[in-house]
């Protein structure tokens, strides 16, 4: 039987920072947690022990492909349970890791598309530096020379500015996504779905499953045969769904468990 590919977003889909846990997990009967990311000797991200067991089982039953907007360096801090992934998608599709190493041919193809189909990163970066107010911006960042993002004080961030940025970016072939304390500006040709299709081409998979919570995951969810999203995040806030996308009611770290149960059940079902 051809392999099944499971391409899943990580942050706020399968793994959760302390801040994300505080927003979505009640104190009463809190589940046991496993730390899966440490940076500068500090624990950063978690999943439940149950989710860790389910992910290990999923990795044994299907080709699990971590799919993230994180840079390669940020992704490599994560220590997921289960078999080491043969493929991973980083930088929102800008890098396809094969056994932990970026595929040079894939990256070159991505760069060619960006040069042809959208405004350059330098123009977007200059606009962000010029229009974002230092009162609520904490950091300006460029990721892998592919896209830009801001770290902001969310409670001070003007909604109107985010809307204006979205309109400005749309006209230049870019997408804006607000996730927690980060505002991403990402080229439209830079997609997780394109990288997933490349993995499908290389492996000959006949079934693709996906999960994610943000606007930057929407193309991935639409490209897969079946997909799931949690009850939190940008997509849930917009009540976004599609015929092959199941909107789950669970929020927070327990949504990660439910997503993994759904994925594992689908992988194991007769085809």
What's the per-residue H, E or C state across the chain?
CCCEEEEECCECCCEEEHHHHHHHCCCCCCCCEEEEEEECCEEEEEEEHHHHHHHHHHHHHCEEEEECCCCHHHHCCECCCCCCCCEEEEHHHCEEEECCEECHHHHHHHHHHHHHHCCCHHHHHHHHHHHCCCCCEEEEEEECCCEEEEEECHHHCCHHHHHHHHHHHHCCCEEEEEECCEEEEEECCCCHHHHHHHHHHHHCCCEEEEECCCHHHHHHHHHCCEEEECCCCHHHHCCCCCCCEEECCCCCHHHHHHHHHHHHHHHHCCC
Q: What is the pLDDT at residue 24? A: 63
d(C-alpha 195, C-alpha 177), whole Å: 19
Q: Which residues pair with 63 in a beta bridge?
A: 5
Q: What is the pLDDT at residue 98? A: 98
Residue range(s) occupied by CATH 3.30.1360 in the chain: 119-187
d(C-alpha 91, C-alpha 102), whole Å: 11
Residue range(s) occupied by CATH 3.40.50.1000 in the chain: 4-111+190-268
Q: What average pLDDT values come out for the chain (271 residues) when binned by 10 residues?
A: 90 93 68 94 95 97 97 97 96 98 98 97 97 96 97 95 97 94 96 98 96 96 98 95 96 94 95 73
Which CATH number among 3.40.50.1000, 1.10.760.10, 3.30.450.90, 1.10.1060.10 corresponds to the domain 4-111+190-268? 3.40.50.1000
CA distances from 49 to 34, 46, 162, 229 (A): 6, 9, 37, 20
Q: What is the pLDDT at residue 18? A: 87
Of residues 64, 54, 53, the one with CA closest to residue 86: 64
Q: What is the pLDDT at residue 26? A: 60
User: Could you tell me the two tokens for 268?
Assistant: 């194991």
| CATH architecture assigned to 119-187 | 2-Layer Sandwich (3.30)
d(C-alpha 179, C-alpha 12), whole Å: 9
Q: What is the pLDDT at residue 118? A: 97
User: The whole model's pTM is what?
Assistant: 0.94
């Amino acid at each position: 039987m051809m392999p099944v590919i499971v391409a899943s977003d990580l942050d706020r889909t399968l793994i959760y920072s302390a801040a994300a846990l505080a927003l979505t997990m009640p104190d009463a009967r809190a589940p046991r947690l496993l730390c899966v990311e440490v940076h500068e000797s500090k624990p950063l991200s978690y999943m439940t022990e149950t989710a860790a067991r389910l992910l290990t089982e999923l990795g044994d039953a299907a080709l699990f492909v971590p799919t993230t907007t994180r840079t390669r360096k940020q992704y490599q801090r994560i220590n997921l349970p289960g078999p080491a992934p043969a493929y991973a998608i980083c930088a929102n599709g800008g890098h396809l890791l094969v056994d932990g190493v970026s595929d040079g041919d894939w990256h070159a193809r991505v760069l060619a598309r960006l040069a042809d189909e959208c405004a350059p990163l330098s123009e977007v970066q200059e606009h962000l530096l010029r229009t974002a107010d230092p009162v609520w911006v904490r950091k300006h960042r460029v990721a892998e020379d592919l896209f830009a993002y801001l770290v902001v004080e969310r409670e001070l961030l003007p909604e109107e500015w985010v809307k204006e940025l979205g309109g400005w970016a749309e006209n230049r072939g870019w997408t804006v996504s607000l996730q927690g304390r980060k505002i991403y500006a990402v080229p439209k040709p830079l997609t997780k779905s394109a990288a997933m299709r490349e993995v499908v081409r290389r492996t000959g998979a006949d079934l693709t499953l996906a999960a994610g919570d943000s606007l930057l995951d929407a193309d991935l969810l639409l490209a897969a045969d079946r997909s799931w999203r949690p009850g939190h995040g940008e997509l849930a806030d917009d009540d976004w769904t599609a015929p092959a996308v199941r909107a789950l009611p669970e929020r927070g770290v327990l949504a990660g468990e439910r997503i993994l149960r759904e994925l594992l059940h689908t992988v194991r079902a007769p085809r």
